Amino acid sequence: MKIERFTVIDISFIAIVHIAGIIGIRFLPEYFLKASFVSILIPLGLYFYRASLKKKEWAPILIVYVITFFSEWIGVNYGWLFGSYSYGNSLGYKIGGVPVLIGLNWVLLALVSRQISSKLISNKWLVIFVSAILMVLIDLIIEPLSANLDFWYWKMGEIPFSNYRDWFLVAVLNQCLLSFVKANNKMFIWSLGYVGILVVFFASFYI
What gap in Å lies between CA 5 and CA 7, rounded to an integer? 5
pLDDT at 194: 98
183 pLDDT band (50/70/90 cuts)?
A: confident
Domain ranges of the chain: 5-206
140 pLDDT band (50/70/90 cuts)?
A: very high
Q: How far is CA 194 from CA 13, 22, 87, 121, 159, in A?
A: 11, 15, 24, 19, 26
Selected residue with higher pLDDT from 85 and 1: 85
Interval 153-180: pLDDT, tens: 999 889 999 999 999 999 999 999 999 9
Alpha carbon 128 to its chain centroid, in Å, reads: 16
Selected residue with higher pLDDT from 184 and 75: 75
Beta-carbon contacts of 108 under 8 Å, excluding residues fewer than 6 positions away, are 40, 43, 44, 47
Which DSSP letter does residue 82 get? S
Average pLDDT of every residue of the chain: 95
